[in-house]
Amino acid sequence: MKTYEFKITGMTCEHCAVAISKSLDVGGVTDKNVSYAQANAVVSFDENIIDDVKIQQYIEKSNQYKVTGFKQVLHDANKKHLVIIGGGSSAFAATIAARERGIEVTMINAGLPIGGTCVNVG
pLDDT at 92: 82
Read off the pLDDT of residues 28-67 as tens digits, 9 standing for 90 and up. Answer: 999 999 999 999 999 999 999 999 999 999 999 988 999 9
Q: Residue 17: how many CB atoms within 10 A of its CB?
A: 21
- Which tops the pLDDT comparison, 72 or 119? 72
Mean pLDDT over all residues of the chain?
88
Read off the pLDDT of residues 93-110 as tens digits, 9 standing for 90 and up. Answer: 898 898 888 888 888 887
What is the amino acid identity at position 117? T
Read off the pLDDT of residues 14-37 as tens digits, 9 standing for 90 and up. Answer: 999 999 999 999 999 999 999 999
Query: How would you class 34 by CB atoms within 10 Å of its CB: exposed for 0-12, middle for 13-18, buried for 19 or more?
Result: buried
pLDDT at 55: 96
Chain-centre distance of CA 121, in angstroms?
Answer: 39
pLDDT at 68: 96
pTM exceeds 0.75: no
